[in-house]
Amino acid sequence: MTEIQAVGTFAGLLLGAVAVGEGLRVIGWGGEATRRVVHVLVGLATAAAPVWFDRPRGIALLAVVFVVANGVALGRGWLPGVHSVSRRSWGTVTFPLALLVALALCWTPGGERVVVLQAAFLVLALADPAAALIGSRSRRGGRYRVGGGEKSVVGSLAFAVIAFVTLVGALAWEGGRPLDRTLIGGAAVVAGLATVAEALGTRGWDNLWIVLAVVVGGTWWVESPDSVRLGLLAVVGAAAFAGGAVRAGALGVSGGLAASLFAWGLVVLGGVAWAVPALAFFVLSSGWSAVGRRRKAPAEALAEKGSRRDAGQVMANGGVALGLLAASVFSASDVLHPAFVAAFAAAAADTWGTEVGTLVGGPTRRLGVGHPVPPGTSGGMSVAGTLGAVAGAASVVVPAVWLSPSLGVAAGGALIGVGVAGSVLDTLLGATVQARYRLPDGTLTERTEADGRALPRAAGVRGVGNDAVNWACTASGALSGALVGLGLG
């Protein structure tokens, strides 16, 4: 089959799946049902696509076309067979976006990772819609909320089981591997990662998170099958760590799920030199949040979120570092570890600066404006907070230098400076860009509503909250840390 024929075949299958959905809608099927049917058909076609192609460019071209076309259709309300659901979902856009990411990571010259791509889309095609159907119809088991969306325990368990069976079949059949304990153990680990990723996904973004989880976990297993036992032990350890943090009140349920992914990756993908700096951030920052709660209560009452961190907060502080950790599966670049350390140094500097500044108090002024503000206010700086930021960055960098002699003292000093600079950027954005709203008594708050009523915006950009500012802080730290890493090379 020529490349043009392959593109035509794949495009025909995708358009045929959409046509089936529209046809089912015409005869009376509901939007959720038609959407699931299209999801299954498109997922199966995508999993089969590598059979027809010798190179990825034809698949990538179609993926780009569908990202744009589905985005336009979603915005204009076209294709009700996949878009006429009660909730706002980006699923039809994130599906082809996930394919682009998987192609970039899995289509290697040797072709050994292509089976991982196929397995990822088989899981997405079969486990995801089945879990949604089972979860929506089940009246048993508990429910939990993630990012404004509701998930069911029964649905998550169904996803895990179906994902496991699908992975075993895909890796044994497509991958040509023996059905032994190594394969079963690896499938169990990857299914667990995908289940957590699905639980964290809302508004259609689970399509991307599921594929990423299977691609990262599957590549780890394909290239390091002897480490399956470590992977299984890490699953247990990550669950225990996250569960303990939730029970201690440091994390919410969604925060615990996000932290469990991180904990697994640190143990299996990173090792001690990556894990200790990250744990230093999580443990010490959580400790600071628990100190002096009565004194910090007025500031926390005006903050966007409380001290019990959800998935958004965990990822805002650690998402960039998690991405760098995942990238280490596909690249041995020397800049990844310094960038990882710098991202956490920036997060720690910001967290410590806020906590210490709020606890100690003292004159606090809004950066760039100079107006006095209460301690703990986003965008405010004080002497105590600045010293806390330096100490926070050092709490991450010092163990990293100790465990990674290649960094050296000079690089360590530079990374501490990078972390503090990231926290200053965070403060500047908090003072200028982060949205603030006005309470009835005139007080400014980061919360968008009070007593169930929306508050008027008083300053900043609507929709830019503290999590977005923290993403910018850690991303700037990672970029600067990568430059430090290049200097070491």
Parse the chain into domains and list their residue ranges.
256-489
- Integer Cα distance of 177 and 287 in angstroms: 46
Closest by CA position to 70, among listed 106, 35, 119: 35
By the 8 A CB rule, do 226 and 213 touch? no
How many other CB atoms are found less than 10 A from the CB of residue 55? 10
| Residue 93, both tokens | 């856009």
Amino acid occupying residue 359: L
Please state at what angle helix 153-173 crosses helix 114-137, rounded to 10 degrees: 150
List residues bridging with 205 in a β-sheet.
none
Q: What are phi and psi of 202, to 5 degrees?
A: -135, 160
Amino acid occupying residue 279: L
| Residue 194, both tokens | 């995908």
Closest by CA position to 221, among listed 255, 254, 172: 172
Q: Is 92 helix (H, G, I), strand (E, B) or coil?
A: helix
- Integer Cα distance of 239 and 235 in angstroms: 6
- Integer Cα distance of 363 and 384 in angstroms: 9
pLDDT in tens, the chain (489 residues): 899 999 999 999 999 999 999 899 889 888 888 999 999 999 999 999 999 999 999 999 999 999 999 999 888 888 877 777 667 789 899 999 999 999 999 998 767 799 999 999 999 999 999 988 888 777 666 777 777 677 888 889 999 999 999 999 998 887 677 888 999 999 999 999 999 999 998 888 999 999 999 999 999 999 998 999 999 999 999 999 899 989 988 888 999 999 999 999 999 999 899 999 999 998 898 887 777 666 656 656 556 666 678 899 999 999 999 999 999 999 989 999 999 999 999 999 999 998 888 888 777 777 766 677 776 677 778 888 899 999 999 999 999 999 997 888 999 999 999 999 999 999 999 888 999 898 888 888 888 888 778 888 888 898 899 999 999 999 999 999 999 999 876
What length does the chain have? 489
List residues bridging with 453 in a β-sheet.
450
By the 8 A CB rule, do 393 and 419 touch? yes
| Residue 338, both tokens | 């310094």
- Integer Cα distance of 487 and 489 in angstroms: 5
How many other CB atoms are found less than 10 A from the CB of residue 481? 32
- Integer Cα distance of 173 and 163 in angstroms: 15
Looking up tokens 């570092």, which residue turns up? 321
By the 8 A CB rule, do 97 and 33 touch? no
The H-or-E segment that residue 453 falls in is strand 453-454
